Amino acid sequence: MHAKRKERFDTKKGILRKTAVGLLLLLLAAALLACGMGYTPPPREAAQTAQPADAPHTPEPAAAPAHVHDYDPATGLCRGCGESCPHEAHDPDTACCLRCGLQRWHAFGADGLCACGREAPLTDTVLPDPYFEPAEHEGRCFQETLTDAAGREHTIAVWLPWDYSEETRYNVVLLIHGDGGSCDDWTDKEEGTSRGPIQVYRVYDRIAEEHLCAPFLVVGLNNRGMGDDPAFGEMLIEDVVLPHLARSYSTWMEGDDHEQLEAAREHIAIGGLSRGSVFTYYIAMQRCLDVSANFCCFSNSYPGGVIRALNAEEALSLDIRCYVAEIGLRDVEEYNQDNRALYSAICSQVERIRDGENARFLEIDEGHNFLMWTAAVYNALLLMF
Ligand SMILES: [Zn+2]
Ligand SMILES: [Zn+2]
Ligand SMILES: [Zn+2]
């Protein structure tokens, strides 16, 4: 029994020894492989498709040389595949696209800073002389008479940039005049009027020439009738003027249905000077939020129900893209106090309107006049579009 048991034990010991040696060898092989010293077989693919190096073959799609777009600087389209350049970045001085070279524009936004690093050249004083002189390329000003559903006629004054093209989509800026004015206060005007030699459209011409904001067109509205009935102003803007512009010009509105106007609201702005500013608060910001996301108010305020309207249940989903309020420091002090109070009340009580983000309050060293309003509309255009 003892001898047998010892023998079995010895046999066990032998097996253990052999297993240990085998394990050691395996570990060694693994270590060699890990060190890269093991034999590496040729890639299976190469072995299977063994063929002379110069034989024709079908490369994998990923191996094909990538198509490099060759953009035409006149159109921004690739000469090879016809695709449009995404215009991701532009030069801070010229606003030309860094990839295709096409002329683009700055987009400062309400915070006043373009993605190219350039800051909006806002003004707090009268614009320099060139803004009052004919630009090298002058836009077109003209009037149109529109008829509403009740058969009443409404005149509007239009400014189109000199290079207006159906290939470009234009932001729409509706501007309302003050007491005693008319729709062409915001475009061109015969000399010898209260405005003197100032032609406001020259400011738009310069902005377009200097590529200081995205392409836009301006429409001056008549304010008569708006004070008697805010529903009249709403009808004029939403049922007459915007549908007409949608049908007649290349804007962001795809058609003249109310839904199509709403879809373009980020590209529509409403503003005004003096009484026109009152109507912007009283009518546009209270009743036209569905079709406009940008507002600019110069020289006068009107608290009315504007905060209540902006905070109403049905208005909460309507973002405010940009709200600009501007005053002339040499204007009536009472007006300026009211403007400051209304602006800060709106920014503190309407959660989605934030000073310095999508809202700006600017002060210009001028009075209640067109030297102030030319500077104000210049600032507002740069910040809104
Ligand atoms: Zn291409
Ligand atoms: Zn480009
Ligand atoms: Zn820029």
Query: How close is the Cα of 106 to the center of ligand 1, in Å?
Result: 25
> Which tokens is 380 given?
């507002």
Ligand nearest to the CA of 92: 3
DSSP conformation letters of 27-54: HHHHHHHHTT-S--PPPHHHHHT---TT
Phi, psi of 192 (to 5 degrees): 90, 5
Ligand nearest to the CA of 76: 2
**CA 327 distance to own-chain centroid:** 25
Please check whether residue 120 is in contact with residue 112, taking contact to mean a CB–CB distance below 8 angstroms.
Answer: yes
pLDDT number for residue 18: 53
Bridge partner list, 296: 271, 324
44-53, 137-146, 247-256, 285-294, range with the lowest pLDDT: 44-53
Query: How close is the Cα of 84 to the center of ligand 1, in Å?
Result: 8
For 110-158, the three-class secondary structure string (H helix, E strand, C coil) is CCCECCCCCECCCCCCCCCHHHHCCCCCCCEEEEEEEECCCCCEEEEEE
pLDDT number for residue 272: 98
Longest dimension (CA), the chain: 136
Confidence of residue 1 (pLDDT cuts 50, 70, 90): very low
Residue closest to 310 by CA, chosen among 332, 292, 326: 292
Delimit the domains of the chain by residue range. 129-384
Q: Could you tell me which residues come within 8 angstroms of residue 206 by beta carbon, excluding any fewer than 6 positions away?
A: 130, 131, 135
Answer whether residue 100 shows pLDDT above 90.
yes
pLDDT number for residue 194: 74
Ligand nearest to the CA of 88: 2
Query: How close is the Cα of 87 to the center of ligand 1, in Å?
Result: 14
Query: How close is the Cα of 82 to the center of ligand 1, in Å?
Result: 6
How far are the Cα atoms of 100, 148, 233, 284 from residue 229, in angstroms, in the given order? Answer: 51, 16, 7, 13
**Mean pLDDT of the 2-6 span:** 46
Percentage of residues of the chain with pLDDT beyond 90: 77
Answer whether residue 9 shows pLDDT above 50.
no
Phi, psi of 356 (to 5 degrees): 85, -20
Confidence of residue 204 (pLDDT cuts 50, 70, 90): very high
Query: How close is the Cα of 67 to the center of ligand 1, in Å?
Result: 6
CA distance 213 to 186: 18
Phi, psi of 217 (to 5 degrees): -130, 150
Q: Which residues surround ligand 1, an ion (CB under 5 A)?
A: 69, 78, 80-81
Query: How close is the Cα of 73 to the center of ligand 2, in Å?
Result: 8
What is the DSSP-derived secondary structure letter of residue 207?
Answer: H
pLDDT number for residue 262: 97
Query: How close is the Cα of 88 to the center of ligand 2, in Å?
Result: 7
Query: How close is the Cα of 85 to the center of ligand 2, in Å?
Result: 4
Query: How close is the Cα of 70 to the center of ligand 1, in Å?
Result: 6
Query: How close is the Cα of 114 to the center of ligand 1, in Å?
Result: 28
Ligand nearest to the CA of 99: 2
Percentage of residues of the chain with pLDDT beyond 70: 83
Ligand nearest to the CA of 67: 1
> Which tokens is 359 given?
């809202």
Ligand nearest to the CA of 115: 3
Q: Which residues surround ligand 2, an ion (CB under 5 A)?
A: 76, 85, 87, 97, 99-100
Query: How close is the Cα of 102 to the center of ligand 1, in Å?
Result: 16
**Mean pLDDT of the 364-377 span:** 97
pLDDT number for residue 197: 84
CA distance 201 to 299: 20
**Mean pLDDT of the 116-144 span:** 96
**Mean pLDDT of the 15-20 span:** 50
| 308-322: pLDDT as tens digits | 999 999 999 999 999
Answer whether residue 326 shows pLDDT above 80.
yes
Query: How close is the Cα of 329 to the center of ligand 3, in Å?
Result: 30
Quote the mean pLDDT of the chain.
88
How far are the Cα atoms of 12, 17, 116, 246 from residue 6, in angstroms, in the given order? Answer: 10, 16, 89, 105
| 23-79: pLDDT as tens digits | 444 544 444 444 444 444 444 444 444 444 555 566 565 667 789 999 999 999 999
Instruction: Return the H-helix or E-strand segment holding 10.
Output: helix 2-34
pLDDT number for residue 189: 87
Confidence of residue 12 (pLDDT cuts 50, 70, 90): very low
Query: How close is the Cα of 241 to the center of ligand 3, in Å?
Result: 31
The CATH number of 129-384, from 1.20.1560.10, 3.40.50.1820, 3.40.50.620, 3.30.70.1350, is 3.40.50.1820
Please check whether residue 251 is in contact with residue 169, taking contact to mean a CB–CB distance below 8 angstroms.
Answer: yes
CA distance 241 to 288: 13
DSSP conformation letters of 241-292: IHHHHHHHS-BS-SSSSHHHHHHTGGGEEEEEETHHHHHIIIIIHHH-TTT-
pLDDT number for residue 38: 43
